[in-house]
Amino acid sequence: MRIPGWCGLNTSMHDEAAGVSRRDLLSLIGVMAGSAAMYHAMTSLGFASESRYRGPVRLEGDPKGASVLILGAGLAGMTAALELRKAGYQVKVLEFNNRAGGRNWTLRGGDRFTELGGVTQACDFEQGLYVNPGPWRIPYHHRALLDYCRRLDVTLEPFIQLNHNAYLHASRAFGGAPQRIRTVKADFQGQVSELLAKATRQGKLNEAVTREDQEILLQALRSWGALDRNYSYNANLHASEYRGYATAPGGGLAARPVPSDPVALSDILKSQLWRYLQNFANYNFQTTMFQPVGGMDMIGKAFAKEIGDIIRYNAKVTRIQQSDSAVTVTYVDATRPSITETATADWCICTIPLSILSQIPIDVGETMKAAIDAVPYAGSVKIGLQFKRRFWEEDDAIYGGISYTDLPIRQIGYPNTGYNRTGRGVLLGAYLFDGANAYEFTAMSPEERVARAVEFGTAIHPQYGAEFENGIAVAWHRVPFTLGCSGDWSDDARRQHYDNLCQIDGRIVLAGEHASELPAWQEGAILSSLDAIVRLHERVVKT
């Protein structure tokens, strides 16, 4: 468990409430001011709290023409740029890439991507098809990101995390045949319920559960596990309503459904397929999840529409200096590296990933420098594959969602858009995060990554062989603007360095997913940025 290292948005309400009990205070507020005020108070007091986000940031007070230089035009940098300019600051942004968005990124047909090592891939997807090499899903409780999507008019659609008809696959179980998530989930749940019911009825839970509760527990297990009258999970039409039928119900003559046979508990246990079920239970992956219509980079583009005019692209930062009165950043134009330029401002918000910032000379104190140096960057690989037809829908009835496998590709993500159409489609053919396989795929040439993804994926979808057309592979350690996927804090490093990383050091403050307790999430980048600008603004207004 990570310690809550959050740098303090709106925690002061806790202290103010200390004299009265929270419940008393809430009922008082409810009586005096109505339910909207009570809801606001509840969230401020820590109840009903699914997010640290408190609505659009209000930077009150006059910055008196102060200037801010922001390093990086990802979501953290652009959030700061948008809000600070609105609050009256003079803002300029330096960005290494020739586009805004950073890891908020989508590859489409016609795009080209040159990775470290010099290999350029051309994306040959058909128009309208895409892959998100970085973030691809937004939890419903990422309220800051969702609010910016609303304010910037980014249209969202559901991201399907759990598709009961997608597959769980173990290469050494069930003869290598992929199993539907629906059947594994129903059978595991059913058989565990049967076992627990048996133990209950044999009196083995008498010490743990009262007689009265045992009766209720048995009812619950029968309901939850689809057990029969005798608390047994077996092949019958009731269980088939959960796990699916051998022959589905039809119409007219011969319409009667035929029940399917459950998989034995021992087979599920030994297959290890149960371990994937956590992907549907984890708080970060619970329904509803979202994706922007048209690709994740619709968010970055919407930010850039607002503040693109103050972004200096192709700017590679080489030095960050500060004095008592100003911050000076030296950079070169990535397309003409011989020309050195400088930018000066009163304050600096630096969102450069620590993998890169740790290599740039920067005037900060020892503790912040130690924090910048303390965070390794995780490996991750995503591979988009285009096929001649959407066989996963046409043949396999898989509409969106994710299949999980123990093969090195780990996941196959189905497009959560454009359902039920004829014609081409793009799958996420591999998604590796951390672990040995991420490194092994990074070390390959891009074309071998694509070829291996096709090779392994064939074990789950034999149609790959006939339908594959082209692909593109992004290995995040090879991405020139991040040198890795995200900050991979150890618990020890976080305890020792996180608060130091988040301090304002003179005139410099850092922001980004690496300065958050939501590592690798876009929400972390935005929340860290909002926290940084609130603290910076307080300081500016006071001086």
Binding residues for another protein (CB under 8 A): 96, 116-118, 171, 316-317, 352-356, 358-360, 373, 375-379, 406-408, 434-437, 439-440, 442-445, 447-448, 450-452, 454-456, 458-459, 462, 464-466, 468-470, 475, 477-484, 488
Please state the closest distance from residue 451 (CB atom) to another protein, in A.
4
80 contacts 92 by C-beta, under 8 angstroms: no
Rounded Cα gap, residues 530 and 75, in angstroms: 11
Nearer to another protein, 124 or 499 (CB): 124
DSSP for residue 52? S
Please state the closest distance from residue 60 (CB atom) to another protein, in A.
36
Nearer to another protein, 189 or 486 (CB): 486
Rounded Cα gap, residues 273 and 174, in angstroms: 11
456 contacts 471 by C-beta, under 8 angstroms: no
Nearer to another protein, 79 or 486 (CB): 486
Residue 366: what residue type? E
Side-by-side strand order, sheet with 167-169: 179-180, 167-169, 401-405, 411-414, 425-433, 380-387, 468-475
Rounded Cα gap, residues 340 and 336, in angstroms: 9
Please state the closest distance from residue 433 (CB atom) to another protein, in A.
12
CA 222 to the chain's CA centroid: 36
Nearer to another protein, 76 or 407 (CB): 407
Please state the closest distance from residue 443 (CB atom) to another protein, in A.
4
48 contacts 484 by C-beta, under 8 angstroms: no
Nearer to another protein, 484 or 519 (CB): 484
Tokens of 285: 């992956």
Nearer to another protein, 437 or 496 (CB): 437
Name the one residue in this structure whose structure tokens are 């291996």.
452
Any residues with CB less than 8 A from the CB of 513 and at least 6 apart, and which?
76, 486, 487, 519, 520, 521, 522, 524, 525, 528
Please state the closest distance from residue 15 (CB atom) to another protein, in A.
38
Nearer to another protein, 116 or 177 (CB): 116
Please state the closest distance from residue 1 (CB atom) to another protein, in A.
19
Residue of 435, 444, 394 lying closest to 411 (CA atoms): 435
Please state the closest distance from residue 469 (CB atom) to another protein, in A.
7
Nearer to another protein, 213 or 469 (CB): 469
Please state the closest distance from residue 525 (CB atom) to another protein, in A.
17
3-class secondary-structure state, position 254: coil
